[in-house]
Amino acid sequence: MVAHAEAPRGSLQHYFPGGKDQLIAEAVAWAGDYAARRVARVAGKITDPTPGKLFEAMAAQWRDEFTAQGFDAGCPLVATVADTAATSDDLRAAVGKAFDGWQRPVAATLEELGVPAGRSASLAVLMLSALEGAIVLARAHRDVAPLDTVVAELWPLLDGAVTRRRTSTVD
């Protein structure tokens, strides 16, 4: 890794005294923050937003990436937990924290769209779980169909969870 970056020997230990696990934990934290920020950007671009449209837009980011760049890249959170769940409590905790940091803005956005607070958190878990599973299946099959399937199946459920009109962001 250090050789690939053409960095001086000792750089990893200097910047990451906790070694490889610290490097991975910091990368996972960054990825979780990035995913959380993407929720707000995606939601802000949706015309007449609904929970179903939010989920469609989240899946579309992956569909677009797979279509343009191929199926080699996936979610670093899933990769990290799959590789370290049984071997590193610290990395498993870092991934859990990153997923929590991504789930919170999804739940908050659902609430803004009229989903009751008591249900928005569980629907956010469902959305992230379905999205991550569809990403894994899309990569395995080298086909975006799993992304389209989860969007089509969850859209009615998500929009059906709205019990009040969307709160206005304009005063």
For position 20, what pLDDT does the model report? 63
**Mean pLDDT of the 109-117 span:** 95
Q: Are 106 and 128 in contact (CB under 8 A)?
A: yes
The answer to whether the pTM exceeds 0.85 is no
What is the number of H-type helices and E-type strands within the chain?
Answer: 7, 0
- Average pLDDT on 76-104 reads 74
| Cα torsion 32, 34, 40, 45: sign | negative
- Please tell me the distance from the alpha carbon of residue 126 to that of residue 150, in angstroms, as a whole number: 10
Split at pLDDT 50, 70, 90, the class of 9 is: low
The answer, yes or no, to whether residue 2 has pLDDT greater than 70, is: no
Take residue 3 and report the two structure tokens written for it.
């050789």
Q: What is the pLDDT of residues 116-169, one digit of tens each?
A: 998 999 999 999 999 989 998 998 999 999 999 999 999 999 999 999 776 555
CB atoms within 10 A of CB 64: 11
Mean per-residue pLDDT of the chain? 81
Give the model confidence (pLDDT) of 20-71 as tens digits: 666 666 667 666 667 777 888 888 898 999 999 999 999 998 898 888 888 7
Q: Per the structure block, which two tokens stand in for 169?
A: 């962001």
